[in-house]
Amino acid sequence: MNDVAQLARLMQGNEAIVEGALAAGLRFFAGYPITPSTEISELLAARLPLYGGRFIQMEDEMASMAAIIGASLAGLKSLTATSGPGFSLKQENIGFASMAEVPCVVVNVQRHGPSTGIPTAPAQGDVMQARWGTHGDHPAIALCPASVQESYSLTVEAFNFAEKYRTPVILLTDEVIGHMRERVILPQPDKLNVIDRKKPPAGLEKYYPYRPGEDGVPAMADFCENYRFHVTGLVHDESGFPTTDADVAEKLIRRLNNKIMDNLDDIVLSESWLTKDADIIIVAYGAVSRSAKKAIKEARVAGFKVGLFRPITIWPFPEKEIAVLSRQAHTMIVPEMNLGQLKLEVERAASGRSRVIGVNKVNGELITPGEILDAIIKQ
């Protein structure tokens, strides 16, 4: 048996997230049960201790988010997982992690809403919440897997981005991907690219926890490692202490945004499929992109020149890529399980060069290939 065969497994999307997180070096998880994310908690409760890692079921989602920030400051790669309503509760502390530049990963297995909605039904209604859920101007990285395999690889990627850019990263998956089972090939651990946070050298005369390196990201010491320092959610200067100085505030908030926006080439991931000659582009992400692929195959047989653009990184939004495609496509179709959240972004990026049409469904059911095909035929 070769290595690859040994590591091919049948698993659920949520299970693949657990495997990906462990492979990326996860050592701390805090969470609160909510469908359809609960398997992640349950599996980690059993698995983390085997790695010397720690699991805790906190009293709510706010506490879970707080605990992973604490654990990350203490030096452990940290994760929490939730769904819609729980994601809303985490927002305040996601903002804290963003402001205090604490790496951590938040999984949101999207479910129907608003509010308790249809708890076990899929939706993609948290696209804007992943971008603007917490208050203030903050950067956001959100990744959207479309398969179990990607649930694995993007979890690793999420940790890598979190560590590299000292920021919370959101894995924005959905109930369909979270619960479906597929064949997954787990890479050999030594073949995996795992990034760890940049640490300051020991023995500095003074450590500035918020003095950025050339990449805009400050080196991060663990609590009680080599240095004593202060961490706050208030606007702070490079030493980490609070200030209300307007210039410092302006510079800090801009730097937080720029450390992400200046690195789009590194962060923005996408898939283009059959787009070369396409004059109709379907823009779809997560579970819906699978329906889109099926629809595209059938439409191609019927003679339509149609292709798929799939944002994998949905935040920052792949604007440049959409702009390029909008020069060749007369129409872009955006099927989503919401009333048109990403469609707004597509419209913005296409700037009137393509017509942008939504295919939207909010009844807790996956959009079918037939529904997308209908939209293609109508063009």
Partner 1 sequence: MQNNVNKYLRSEKLPHIWCPGCGNGIVLGAITRAFGLLDCDQDNTVVVSGIGCSSRATGYLDFCTLHTTHGRALAFATGIKMARPELKVFVLMGDGDSTGIGGNHFIHAARRNIDLTAIIFNNSIYGMTGGQSSPLSPLNSRATTAPQGTFERPFDLAELARGAGATYVARGTTYHANMLTQLIRNGADHKGFSVVEAVTACPISYGRRNKMGNGYDMLLWQKEHSVPVEKARKLTPLEMEGKFAIGELYKADAPEFTDIYERFIEEKQKKNEEERHRGVN
Using the CB atoms, write b or e for 10-25: b if 16+ within 10 Å: ebbbbbbbbbbbbbbb
Question: What is the 8-class DSSP label of residue 190?
Answer: G
Check: CB of residue 322 under 8 Å from CB of residue 283.
yes
Q: Out of 33, 49, 114, 370, name the contact with partner 1 by CB under 8 A.
A: 49
Among 14-22, 52-60, 257-265, 296-304, the segment contacting partner 1 (CB under 8 A): 52-60
Among 81-89, 107-115, 227-235, 257-265, the segment contacting partner 1 (CB under 8 A): 227-235
Q: Does 21 bind partner 1 (CB under 8 A)?
A: no
| Helix axis angle, 61-73 to 84-100, nearest 10° | 30
Q: Residues 132-171 vs partner 1: string with x where CB under 8 A? A: ----------------------------------------
Q: Which is nearer to partner 1, 75 or 364 (CB)?
A: 75
Among 62-70, 125-133, 148-156, 168-176, the segment contacting partner 1 (CB under 8 A): 62-70
- Least Å distance, CB 183 to partner 1, is 22
- Least Å distance, CB 93 to partner 1, is 6
Q: Out of 7, 204, 224, 261, name the contact with partner 1 by CB under 8 A.
A: 224
Q: Does 377 bind partner 1 (CB under 8 A)?
A: no
DSSP codes of every residue in 34-89:
-TTTHHHHHHHHHHGGGGT-EEEE-SSHHHHHHHHHHHHHTT-EEEEEE-HHHHHH
- Binding residues for partner 1 restricted to 300-339, rule: CB under 8 A: none
Q: Out of 9, 35, 56, 258, name the contact with partner 1 by CB under 8 A.
A: 56
d(CA 220, CA 199): 5
d(CA 81, CA 179): 14
Q: Does 27 bind partner 1 (CB under 8 A)?
A: yes
Among 75-83, 164-172, 173-181, 200-208, the segment contacting partner 1 (CB under 8 A): 75-83
Check: CB of residue 121 under 8 Å from CB of residue 336.
no
- Least Å distance, CB 175 to partner 1, is 27
Task: Map tokens 């698995």 to a residue.
Answer: 47
Q: Does 202 bind partner 1 (CB under 8 A)?
A: no
Q: Does 206 bind partner 1 (CB under 8 A)?
A: no
What type of residue sits at position 4? V
Joined tokens for residue 107:
């999984």
Cβ contacts of 357 within 8 Å, gap of 6 or more:
331, 332, 333, 334, 375, 379
Check: CB of residue 273 under 8 Å from CB of residue 285.
no
- Least Å distance, CB 60 to partner 1, is 6
Q: Does 248 bind partner 1 (CB under 8 A)?
A: no
**Measuring CA to CA, which residue among 322, 325, 285 is closest to residue 305?**
325
Please give the residue ranges that form the binding site for partner 1 (CB under 8 A). 27-28, 30, 49-50, 52-54, 56, 58-60, 62-64, 66-76, 78, 92-93, 96, 223-224, 227-234, 241-242
